[in-house]
Structure 1
Amino acid sequence: MKHYFALGALAAALALPAGAQTLRWASAGDPQTMDPYSQNENLTNNINHQIYEFLVERDKKLGFIPGLATEWKQTSPLQWRFKLRPGVKFHDGKPFTADDVVFSVLRAREKTSQIAAYATALGEPKKVDDLTVEFNLSQFNPIFLDHLNTVFIMSKAWCEEHKATKPQDFGNKEEMFTARNANGTGPFMLVTREPDVKTVLKRNPNWWGKQEGNVQEVVYTPIKSDATRLAALLSGEIDFVLDPSPRDLEKLRNTPTVKVIDGPENRIVFVGMDQARDELLYSSVKGKNPFKDVRVRKAMYQAIDIETIKTKLMNGQAAPTGALVPTPIASFNDPEVEKRLPYDLEAAKKLMKDAGYADGFEVTMDCPNNRYINDERICQTLASMWARLNIKVRVNAMPKTTYFPKTEKLDTSLYLFGWGGSITDAETTFTPIYRNRGEKGVGEYNRGNYKDDELDALVAASSKEADPAKRKALIKQVFLRHNEQVHHIPLHRQFIPWATRAGVSVVHRPDNWLETQWVTIK
């Protein structure tokens, strides 16, 4: 169901009893579920993190700090031990113990979890006593703490009570108690959850930590229209916009009652293609799949005028790259890896001719319209560029609540996707996206379902290599193999300027993550 707000309707949706320090914020999309493992999507994770917590948290610069664990130690290459924070209670009053940690990791490994690959990489969790947990690994994990920082801790007793011991099967539209209810240990508690309308949180008076900000209540409202979000901010009906449109930034910067907080995001936006089916779905091509041919994939890459997308569509708020990874830190800023294939329309046309598709073909491109900056417009722009190769692209744009389950089922031929977050290491891009699809989340986001055994073996080796120099060399081989085969077409790393009312102070993190406990409203 779609909701389009007029300002009057928006004001009614945001109406609350009079009270100080209410943060009213908005973006184009909505959290997909309150089940913290069901959908691995940034806004969903961000909202859930106000409620649920990790053993190891991140500071304002994305460094690791104590969370529900007060200390930790790698006791051997294959074992980690954590001391848990005493006296912590879930929102329902039940105490937090090692049983909840073990339960959460095992729940996050279930088939319906979208962080199964990360939870599996943590090894076997073991309760030593109520406030001590060990993790025993079957192979070395070079980014163990990064993986741990993806698993929210849930209450074992609460999940069992509500028959939610496995994550919600979001792709198959399963209804589950955890989809609209939550019970964490975090700084805020869920009050009401109305999907696509409004999500309300209140401050947890019994939180173990110390809040830096003064927010007592949080009201999140999805507003799909860029113009309506802008008008709501300018009128003072909302305090914070996570995703102002790039074309509105100049106006916002010149508005005294508004602040723009700039920053790049750790996120790569890219194109994926079905490389598995013998006959391409949603296409005019019968009995064949043009995307199986690397020449077609390369031609589509070289037909993209990325500088025009950067300057005209993104208003400069993007960094084009040839490396499919959220941040150049992950590629060690290697120019050979980061280099794009050149925009060359004549070379692209020759590749299409050599592949037997000089006359092109028709195909549908699935695209979200409320997830990434200018997502639908990017797809429309790509379609116009590919038309020069006689590829007629029908853009099928939809809300992310429809889009993600569709691609999750591999019900797509051509699609736009984004990937990012707080982790700067390549591993958490490689295992979900680059590898062959397998068990326990491996290759879960390889939605083109390509099989590249050489690439798969290189990623698997890099995932367990303990020697930093050898691992760096393996990571470069992974990038070069992937780029050579054009398994995806990288576009750009998007920038994320935030916009607030002048009296609102926020901390901009490169994972595009708003921590409401750090927000101060004057």
Structure 2
Amino acid sequence: MKIRFRGGAIAAALLLSVVAACGGGGGDSGDSDRALRVAAVSDASSLDPIRGNAGTDHVLIYPLYDTLISYDKGLEAQPGLAESWEQKSPTELTLKLREGVKFHDGEPFNAEAVVYNFERAKGEGSNIQADLASVDSVTADDEYTVTYKLSAPDASLLLVLADRAGMMVSPKAAEAAGGDLSTKPVGAGGWEFVEWKRGSVIKVKRYADYWDKDAERVSAINFNIIPDPKTRVTSLRSGQQDVVMDVSPSDADGLEKASGVAVSDTPRVNVNQVYLNRDSEELGDPQVRKALSLAIDREALLKSAYFGRGSVANGALPSDYWAAPPESVKSEFNPDEAKKLLAAAGETDLTFDMIVNADSATVRVAEILKQQWSDVGVTVNIKPLEIVQGTSDYFNDRKSPAYLSQWTGRPDPAMTYRLLFSDEGYFNTSDQWTPGLEEALEKSDVSTEPDERKPGFDEAAEAVFADTSFFPLVFGNSIVGLSEDVDGFEGNLLGKPKFIGVTLG
């Protein structure tokens, strides 16, 4: 992890863990009384973990909901609300739950609550059914033991439970809210809900009965919704914010030179990409999709739009990750071949709409893509929308064949492939498997050992590449701005901090 300070401490590696299983040794001494002010990129799509549809939600809801399984900064599984686990067979996972945990409404967390949350996640209105597709049932073996019973081996399940499917809500609160906790979240996290002013701020306060009494926690967190990247940075420099998420690469150099602030710049599995509806009239032909991909100069994008802070994306996972695509999967820039493929497909005057996140950095990327596609005779109509509206228009209402945004990553690589490219994946508007992918992922489930799973993921990457199921662009670094009052911040490969361990000086 790289953190640079000016006007305060010199560069340092901040070693406090953010996982819920580990204590910070300071209990409730995270600060005096002031709230930690966090400038967030986007408002929440929902505060209910099963109903949200934006990857940017995680930073806002992790404080409210502890997960069954946690993870360290390298995405290795760690204890969470489950203190231990055992894989009794390839189709059975047993979790031993922590005792003495309470939800924010005072209700006990136990095996029956886990069963309730599973059935809720598999039910109507849930956006995460694909995450648990392999699970047939969950049984309460005793008050603090549950067993997940699978229809087929699924090596990703452990880390699936470190994401939305593992965020436990109070059954009593969910029932009282008619099954929808979108505006009345009740979890078992380190902070409890206070207020949500849509488009403005989400406020949480330290939960007094949190199970981990040793965890360092600030007294409160105010997530201030500031979509414009330059405004976020300005607010940090002026002392109005303590933490600024997703600093734009164009602003990072200047912020590193500023007094009294730090910049955390770390790699992550977040990929900037163009989502594609492969069932659309405009982009249904894989030959056309291949042509459009070949027309993209990703090196130029990395240099001009991301200022070199990141790496070119060949697939859904970065090259230095254990499940990275094989060398056979490589994004190429070949506009001449792109023109030939378009001509062969009879699409010499192709025009299509593309929804784009309305922040200035993403619009800049869209304008570069527009020019590159224009060079091969393709016209794209850019439709800038705020993130929550854009995700709704694209994923729910299918109003456009393409969407320029980002995939914020998931703890296990199989989750990424299933959510993006399976027939039940919420983020796959084509509603069809990428050819060959289902069989490849079955091979990745033969073991929980990374080395034994890797061949299956290689085949998965090759299947997605052959079909051109999406346009991966750039893996942008996680760049976070910090005031000199903030201590204990640590990033992770997801670029989604949980704020356990963070203190205010």
TM bracket, shorter-chain basis: 0.7 to 0.9
SS in 1 for 2:140: strand
The DSSP-based 3-state class of the residue aligned with 1:202 is strand
Instruction: Map 1:365-376 to 2 at 5 A.
Output: 365-370=354-359, 374-376=361-363
Q: For residues 217 and 176 of structure 2, what CA distance do their matches in structure 1 show? A: 34
TM-superposition CA deviations, 1:69-110 (whole Å, max 9, x none): 222212222222222111111111111111110000111112
How many equivalent residue pairs? 470
Q: Which of these residues, 459, 466, 488, is aligned with residue 470 of structure 2?
A: 488
8 Å CA contact 1:181–1:193 kept in 2: the answer is no
Query: Of residues 359, 364, 369 in structure 1, which corresponds to 2:353?
Result: 364
Residue 316 of structure 2 aligns to a residue in which SS? Answer: coil
Letter in 1 for 2:501: W
Contact 1:104–1:156 under 8 Å retained in 2: yes
- The correspondence for 1:400, drawn from 384, 387, 392, is 387
Q: In the TM superposition, what is the alpha-carbon distance from 1:466 to its structure 2 partner?
A: 4.1
**Contact 1:330/1:426 (<8 A) preserved:** no
Pick one of 337, 344, 348 that aligns with 2:334: 344
Task: Mark the CA change 1:332 to 1:517 in structure 2 (over 3 Å): closer, same or farther.
Answer: closer
Measured after TM superposition, the shift of residue 207 of structure 1 is 0.7
1:412 aligned residue:
400
Checking the alignment, whether the CA contact within 8 Å between 1:212 and 1:519 is kept in structure 2 is: no
Which residue of structure 2 lines up, in the alignment, with residue 161 of structure 1?
A: 176
The answer to whether the 8 A contact 2:410-2:416 is kept is no
Alignment of structure 1 residues 103-114 onto 2, 5 Å: 103-114=116-127
Report the CA distance between 1:476 and its aligned residue.
2.1
Residue 27 (structure 1) shift: 2.4
1:292 aligns with 2:284: yes
Partner AA of 2:425 in structure 1: G
Deviation track 1:484-510 (CA, whole Å, cap 9, x = no partner) reads: 221222111111111011121211112
Contact kept in structure 2, 1:366 and 1:414, CA below 8 Å: yes
Could you tell me whether the CA contact under 8 Å between 1:39 and 1:114 is conserved in 2? yes
1:345 maps to amino acid: P
Q: Give the structure 2 partner of residue 391 of structure 1.
A: 378
> 1:205-232: per-residue Cα shift (whole Å, max 9, x none)?
1111035435111111111222221221
Matched, 1:520 2:486: no
- Which of 459, 462, 470 pairs up with 2:443? 462
Match of 1:125 in 2: 138
- Structure 2 regions of 5+ residues with no counterpart? 1-30
Instruction: Please state which structure has a larger fraction of its residues in helix.
Output: 1
TM-score, structure 1 normalization? 0.85
- Superposition map of 1:504-515 within 5 A: 504-505=486-487, 506-515=489-498
Counterparts of 1:310 and 1:190, CA distance in 2: 39
**Equivalent in the alignment of 2:420:** 433
Q: Where do residues 127-276 of structure 1 align in structure 2 (5 Å cutoff)?
A: 127-150=140-163, 151=165, 152-164=167-179, 176=180, 178-276=181-279
Partner of 1:169: none
Confirm or deny: 8 A CA contact 1:260 1:497 kept in the other structure.
yes
Aligned CA-pair RMSD: 2.2
Instruction: Verify the 8 A CA contact 2:353 2:381 in the aligned structure 1.
Output: yes
Q: Are residues 1:304 and 2:296 paired?
A: yes
Deviation, 1:318, is 2.3
**CA distance 1:108–1:239, change in 2 (3 Å):** same
How far does residue 366 in structure 1 lie from its aligned partner after superposition? 1.0
Distance 2:63 2:341 in 1: 50
For 1:248, the aligned partner's letter is: D
Structure 2 CA distance for aligned equivalents of residues 451 and 101 of structure 1: 30
Whether 2:23 is the aligned partner of 1:32: answer no
Deviation sequence 1:256-306 (CA, Å, 0-9, x none): 2110011012112222333324xx3xxxxxxxx4x2333322221111111
Structure 1: distance between partners of 2:438 and 2:158: 23
Contact 2:236 2:483 in 1 (8 A): yes
Distance 1:273-1:422 versus aligned 2 partners, 3 A rule: closer
Given that 1:326 and 1:419 are in contact with CA atoms closer than 8 Å, whether structure 2 keeps it comes out as: no
Give CA-to-partner distance per residue, 1:21-57, whole Å, 9 cap, x none.
Answer: 4200102211221111111433312221101111221
The one-letter code matched in structure 2 to 1:515 is K
Distance 1:141 1:450 in 2: 20
Decide whether the 8 Å contact of 2:326 with 2:461 is kept in 1: no
**Once the 2 structures are TM-superposed, how far is the Cα of residue 390 of structure 1 from its aligned partner?**
1.9
Higher relative contact order, structure no. (Cα contacts within 8 Å, ≥ 6 residues apart): 2
Q: Name the residue aligned to 2:95.
A: 82
Instruction: Return the alpha-carbon distance in structure 1 between the equivalents of residues 217 and 194 of structure 2.
Output: 18
- The percentage of counterpart residues that share the same residue type is 24
Report the alpha carbon displacement of residue 332 of structure 1 after superposing the two structures with TM: 4.2
1:335 Cα shift?
2.1
- Check the 8 A contact 1:269/1:492 in 2, yes or no: yes
Whole-Å separation in 2 of the counterparts to 1:298 and 1:115: 30
> In the aligned structure 2, how far is the partner of 1:250 from the partner of 1:467?
41
Instruction: Work out the CA distance in 1 between the residues paired with 2:325 and 2:335.
Output: 28
Instruction: Give distance in 2, aligned partners of 1:254 and 1:215.
Output: 28
CA positional deviation for 1:186: 1.2
CA contact (8 A) 2:277 2:428 kept: no
Deviation at 1:137, TM superposition (A): 1.6
Letter in 1 for 2:402: L
Displacement of 1:449 after TM fit? Answer: 4.3
2 CA distance for matches of 1:189 and 1:67? Answer: 17
Looking at structure 1, the residues matched to 232 and 303 of structure 2 have their Cα atoms a distance apart, in angstroms, of: 23
The 1-side partners of 2:339 and 2:313 are apart by 22
Cα distance between partner residues in 1 of 2:90 and 2:467: 35
